[in-house]
Structure 1
Amino acid sequence: MAAFSADLDCLFGEHPFLERFKAAYDAGFAAAEFTLDPKIPLGELGDACAYNGLKTAVLTMPAEQSELAFNPKTKKDFLAHFDRLLDVADFIECKKVYVKGMVLTEENFDAARDAFIAALHAAGAKAKAQKVQILIGFENATENEGFYPASTLEVLQILDELDDDKAFAYLFDVYHAQTTEGGISNTLESLMPLIGHIRVAGAPLHDEPDNGELNYDYLFSLIETHAYAGKIGCSYTPRLTTETGLKWMKKYV
C-alpha cells in the first residue's frame, strides 16, 4: 500500500504550523505536503520537515505567486518566485511542486491560459534541470466558479501542450474529480502513468475518507494494483480533531 502524506494545509490545524510536522509523524504519516509560507525562515522549515525522517511529498506554490503565471506582464515575477520554490524544494529534499490554477473570466480566458502555458514551459525547464516534477491539478467549478483548470480533460490538455512527462504530471484529487465528473476508478486505471500525486477526501463533504459516497477500500486496492509509487495525500477537513478522525487510516498502514 502506498504511504500516506498529511496535507498540513488541512490537517493538524489544532497546532501551530511548524508543530504540525511532529504531529503528523506521531500520528503515523510517512510524509507531509503543504503550501510554502515565505515568512517562515528556511532553517526552521527545514528542521520541521526533517523531524524523525518525515519526508515532504509535495510543496505547493502560494496562490498569489502562481497566479502571476496567468499574465504575460508578470511572467518574470512568477519565474523568480518559482526559482525560490525550487530552492526551498531542494533544501527540504522535495521532488514534486504544485503550481495551482486560478479563477478566470470569459473576457481574459484565452490570453490568461496562453500565458499560463508559456510560463509553465519556462518553469518546466528549470524544474527538470533540478529533477523536480511540476504537478498540475484542478478544482471543481461547483465550489470554485470560473476556476481553471476545472476538469481532468482541461488538465490533460495542458499536459499535452507541455509535452514533457519528466517535468509535468497530474495531481489527481479524488474529491474534486468526484464532485466534477465521477468515474474515479476509470480515471485511475486509464491515467495512472500520467498521475504524479493522488489526494483523497470523503465526498461530498470533504471530510475523512471513511464517510460518504466513495468506496476507498476499492480505490486503495486499485491504486496498489497499478503499482502507484507516490504518496497518497490526505487532504480533507476533519469532522472533529485531526487525531480523532485518523481511525480510518489504521487498516491501511
Structure 2
Amino acid sequence: MLRFSANLGFLWPELPLLDRIEAAGRAGFRAIELHWPYDVPAAAVAAACDAADIVLTGLNTAPGDLKAGEFGLGALPGREAEFEAAVTQSIAYCRATGATMIHAMAGVVPFDARSSATFVANLRHASAEAERAGLTLLIEPINPRDKPGYFYSTIEQAAEILERIGTPNVKLLFDVYHVGVATGDVLTRLTTFMPLIGHVQIAAVPSRAEPDEGEISYPAIFLALEELGYEGWIGCEYKPRGDTVEGLVWTERLGVTL
C-alpha cells in the first residue's frame, strides 16, 4: 500500500511550522518531511509530531547562504568543514525527532572532476557518521530550470556519484517532478534506478502543483511503484494551487488515500 508524507516546506505555507504539523495530521497525513527546520527546536517539533500522531521522515542539510544563491555545500571545494557541520546538525536533529533520512544538498557548482571528488569524499565521511546514528543519506539531482547551475540535474549523474561512494546508506531521492522536467522518460528511469532509490517525491509537471494535472500520469507512476515493490513514503513536495486542504482533492481524483 502506498504511503504519502506531507512536505511542509511547501504545504500550508501560510502557517508557522508547528501549526503546519498539526494541520497535516488533521488532513490525514501520517508522516511529514521538512526542508530546513533548524530555527525551531527539535524538541518542539518532536512534541508536535507526537500530538498529531505523525512521524517525521527526513529533512535537508542546511543550504548555506540562500540570499547569496547558495543551495547546499556538499560539492563545494573549500567548504568541507561547513558541510561536515551541517551534517552533524542534521544528525542531531534526526536523533531528537526520530527522523531517519537526510538529503545531503550538493550546492551550485559545475559538475566537474573537482566538485565531484569533493562531493564523493564528503559523502563517504558523512555516511559513516550517519550510519552510527542509523540514518540514510539521500542525494537528489535538481532540474536546471528551477535551480540553474546546481551541481547535478539528472538521475544518471546521481547514480555515478552513488557508485563512487559505494556505501549502502547513501541512496537516491527520486523526485518525479525534477526527473520529468530535466529529462522525461520517468517510468523507464524509475524502473532502471529503483535498486538505488531511498525516497520518492511527487508534483505535477511542469507546474509543480498538485499531481492531478500536467503531463505526468501519476496513476501509472503509483502502479509502477507498487509493482516494483517500493515500500517507502512518497513525499508530496508540491506547491498548492491555492488552499492546501482544498487541493487534497487530488487524492480522490487519483484514487489514493493518505
Smaller-chain TM-score range? over 0.9
Equivalent residue number for residue 8 of structure 2? 8
Shift of 1:183: 1.1
Q: Secondary structure at the match of 1:103?
A: coil
Equivalence for 2:133 = 130
1:6, distance to aligned residue in structure 2 (A): 0.5
Residue equivalent to 1:190: 192
Partner of 1:104: 109
Residue in 2 aligned with 1:55? 55
Question: Any gaps of 5 or more consecutive residues in structure 1?
Answer: none
The number of residue pairs the alignment matches comes to: 250
TM-score by length of 2: 0.91
Q: 1:3 to 1:120 in 2, by over 3 A?
A: same
Specify every segment of 5 or more residues in structure 2 that has no aligned partner in the other structure, as ranges: 66-70
Corresponding residue for residue 87 of structure 1:
92
* 1:240 corresponding residue in structure 2: 242
Determine whether 1:119 maps to 2:86: no
Which residue of structure 2 aligns with residue 69 of structure 1? 74
| Deviation for aligned residue 1:72 | 4.5
Change in CA separation of 1:77 and 1:190 when aligned onto 2, cut-off 3 Å: same
The equivalent residue for 1:220 is: 222
- When structure 1 is superposed on structure 2, of 225-234 and 49-58 the one drifting more is 49-58
Give 1:105 shift. Answer: 4.4
Letter in 1 for 2:96: F
How big is the shift at 1:224? 1.1
TM-fit CA distance, 1:140: 0.5
More helix by share: 1
Does the aligned pair in 2 maintain the 1:37–1:62 contact within 8 Å?
Answer: no
TM-score (norm 1): 0.93
Task: State the Cα RMSD in Å.
Answer: 1.7
CA contact (8 A) 1:6 1:33 kept: yes
Q: Distance in 1 between matches of 2:242 and 2:163?
A: 41
Moved runs in structure 1, 4+ residues, more than 4 A? none
Of 162, 165, 172, 2:165 maps to: 162
CA–CA separation in structure 1 for the residues paired with 2:76 and 2:218: 39
Residue 138 of structure 1 aligns with an amino acid whose one-letter code is P
> For residues 147-175 of structure 1, what are the alpha-carbon distances to aligned partners after superposition, in whole Å with 9 as ceiling and x for unaligned?
1111011100110100112x111000001
